[in-house]
Structure 1
Amino acid sequence: MSTNNIPHVAPERLPELLKAIPKAELHMHIEGSLEPELIFALAQRNGVSIPYASVEELRKAYAFTNLQTFLDIYYAGASVLLQEQDFYDMAWAYLERAATDNVVHTEMFFDPQTHTARGVPVKTVIDGLHRACVDAKDQLGVSAALILCFLRHLSEEEAFAVLEESLPYRDKFIGVGLDSSEVGHPPEKFARVFARCRELGLHLVAHAGEEGPPAYVWSALDVLKVERIDHGVQSSKDPALMARLAKDRVPLTVCPLSNLKLCVFPDLKQHNIRTLLDAGLVATINSDDPAYFGGYMNENWLQTFAATGLDARHAWQLAANSFEGSFIDASTRKVYMDRLDQAFAQFA
């Protein structure tokens, strides 16, 4: 099937279709799925003090004006994660929610430096998350993989250190990424560590063009040589970059509700997801940090379609893009694409 022969879907059935179609999630920070209820439960289990008196007070603090104000509370929430079981419980809660949203494959980011800085061993982090991924396949039918992210506000030397500490568990993660504060920390700051990861055969992705300029996207592509751009919405300001992304089929993992919450766009109606799709880019929809930004996958899809007027043709393209942009093999991709076409046929 292609966008030219998508069966007609009545507009009133579009929300039902969006919930039902299989999709891959390629931009989700597992620490950003920590709901306030789980934060408080883990704090109590581990005897950790947090600067909020209640779940309600913590939720009220989720009023972010930019990326940094979000990161401040994000790191505070992660402080409750100490034991392998904590990381398992966090990942399992997300994976159950993903299954409900018909996410059939997910590639989850994790930030080991957030935890090693508190004395938590990398082994504890990776073993807990990986065990949840294994159980998700067996019990939920969700394929899940891990991508280790370097914190860009820290030094490249620190990135090298956490990479070396993680290599004994190389079989439990598929790639590396770059996240945290974007402005002032261009991708080329991490050129050497990404070159090392490329030698190791790891997949390479990087956050670029969320709050940072299109130049950061160019650097991620040409200096880090990434396979996928996380966010990338600022690319629309550079026609040459847009042409490059379309020609090379470089996936963009766009996070609409995150962009809204962090004031990248003043209104969801003004989001440029349609511009990216109409220009032929491999744009996808993802939840980023769903506990903090007010929506998991289906909520991102539903609100974005309602605000921007995207239709069934766009829905098929976005789901197809999510499978094209993922790091799954060709045979698995075909299985998921067949399931996507079958879901659309049921709504014809």
Structure 2
Amino acid sequence: MKSSNLKEIIQGIPKAELHLHIEGSFEPELMFEIANRNNIPLAYDSIESLKKAYKFNNLQEFLDIYYIGAQVLINEQDFFDLTWAYLTKVHSENVVHVEIFFDPQTHTDRGVGFDVVINGIYKALEKGKQELGISYKLIMSYLRHLSEDSAFKTLEASLPFKNWIDGVGLDSSEVGNPPSKFEKVFKASSEQGYKLVAHAGEEGPSSYIWEALDLLKVVRIDHGNRCLDDEALVQRLLDEKIPLTLCPLSNVELKVIQKMEDHPVLKMLEKGILATIHSDDPAYFGGYMSENYYETAKALNLSTEQIMQLAINAFEASWLSDDEKKKHIKTVKNYFNSLVI
């Protein structure tokens, strides 16, 4: 298939994004705009110099810059603008449903109120639903490099906004911060009615995926690359239909894999795992949904059937109702059936 045809096909697919950190969609242009608005100096003298810093050898190097960028987010308008910029971007790529993470502790630890953060994000999501037709779910993530006590405080702060939050997740520095560290707060989060997901098996071992399933009781694994190291774990994922939300461009940028041709998503599809593709932190990793689909399809020589399966899997793995899932999956199938290749 010609690359131009492939790009056009991918552009037109109705897509669901299930693994996106809203702070990771902070494009340098907007970062400078908000920094100027809030009179906050950045450690970079230009957009170009900031972009040049986006070369990472591991997850921690990325997180160091990620948290620097987040420092300029102070007011409700900032969080609204950040979220709205993401929604308008993915609308142009035919993303019709999003389930996005936000990191309250990144902001509350520097004195920004939980209410300020969530009000800005929520208002933009509602505007996106009304004006762009993008449905959404909102996931609050606990930062795993911080203590479980800090996560409990975040859970407490979230309760007045419980009707706006669909689930909780676990992100940040994986190595040395196993899921078991957060077993109690995940149990308490479940008791509040939150759905549960966790980043596991990205840089960490496959045992972290087991912990996320057995101790945290998650319904979805974010990343999960390392599951293929363990045949019993693969069987568990198949038996329980546990989805994986993979982020190919992120994996290459953070050296989780060395090159796109090594990405495990094709092997996962061939084994029948409910594997899906997303963008993670697209402002930092060089691509939103369409770029992730395109670079993966090109490197792994995916067939149109496999690309369609990835799109279907994302809706299957979403937290939409069964009726909404069926409607979107029918739209995806109709789209691919209409293609002349």
Please report the TM-score for the alignment, with normalisation by the length of structure 1.
0.96
Q: Which residue of 2 aligns with 1:6?
A: none
Q: Which residue of 2 aligns with 1:98?
A: 90
Q: Which residue of 1 aligns with 2:339?
A: 347
Deviations 1:72-130 (A, max 9, x none): 00000000100001000000000011111111100000000000011000000001000
SS, match of residue 16 in structure 1? helix
Name which of structure 1's ranges 211-220 and 334-343 shifts more when overlaid on structure 2.
334-343
Task: Give yes or no for contact 1:147–1:175 (8 Å, CA) kept in 2.
Answer: yes
CA distance in 2, matches of 1:211, 1:15: 30
SS, match of residue 50 in structure 1? coil
CA distance in 2, matches of 1:310, 1:87: 37
Q: Which residue of 2 aligns with 1:320?
A: 312
1:164 to 140, 144, 156: 156
CA distance in 2, matches of 1:232, 1:270: 15
- State the one-letter code of the partner of 2:78: D
Question: 2:56 aligned with 1:64, yes or no?
Answer: yes
- State the one-letter code of the partner of 1:78: A
Deviations 1:299-326 (A, max 9, x none): 0000111111111111111011100100
Q: Which residue of 1 aligns with 2:6?
A: 14
SS, match of residue 28 in structure 1? strand
Q: Which residue of 2 aligns with 1:260?
A: 252
Identity, % of aligned pairs? 52
Q: Could you list the runs of 5+ residues in structure 2 that have no partner in the other structure?
A: none
CA distance in 1, matches of 2:2, 2:144: 45
SS, match of residue 105 in structure 1? strand
Q: Which residue of 2 aligns with 1:338?
A: 330
Deviations 1:44-97 (A, max 9, x none): 001111111110000000010000000000000000100001000000000011
1:278 to 270, 276, 288: 270
- State the one-letter code of the partner of 1:194: F
- State the one-letter code of the partner of 2:31: I
Q: Which residue of 1 aligns with 2:302?
A: 310
C-alpha spacing 1:77/1:12, structure 2 compared with 1 (3 Å): closer
Q: Could you list the runs of 5+ residues in structure 1 that have no partner in the other structure?
A: 1-8
Alpha-carbon deviation of 1:12? 6.7
Compare relative contact order (CA 8 Å, sep 6+) and give the higher one, 1 or 2: 1
Question: 2:207 aligned with 1:215, yes or no?
Answer: yes
Once the two structures are superposed, the pairs formed by residues 1-348 of structure 1 within 5 Å of their partners are 13-348=5-340
SS, match of residue 249 in structure 2? helix
Task: Give yes or no for contact 1:179–1:206 (8 Å, CA) kept in 2.
Answer: yes
Matched residues, number: 340
SS, match of residue 194 in structure 1? helix
CA distance in 2, matches of 1:113, 1:39: 19
Alpha-carbon deviation of 1:238? 0.7
Task: Give yes or no for contact 1:14–1:311 (8 Å, CA) kept in 2.
Answer: no
CA distance in 1, matches of 2:91, 2:268: 27
CA RMSD of aligned residues (A): 1.1
Deviations 1:141-178 (A, max 9, x none): 11122100000000000000011011101111100000
Alpha-carbon deviation of 1:11? 8.2
Task: Give yes or no for contact 1:85–1:128 (8 Å, CA) kept in 2.
Answer: yes
CA distance in 2, matches of 1:11, 1:53: 37
Name which of structure 1's ranges 197-206 and 176-185 shifts more when overlaid on structure 2.
197-206
SS, match of residue 145 in structure 2? coil
SS, match of residue 284 in structure 1? strand
Task: Give yes or no for contact 2:97–2:136 (8 Å, CA) kept in 1.
Answer: yes
Task: Give yes or no for contact 2:25–2:283 (8 Å, CA) kept in 1.
Answer: yes
CA distance in 2, matches of 1:215, 1:176: 21
CA distance in 1, matches of 2:262, 2:166: 34
CA distance in 1, matches of 2:2, 2:284: 33
Alpha-carbon deviation of 1:200? 1.2
CA distance in 2, matches of 1:193, 1:260: 32
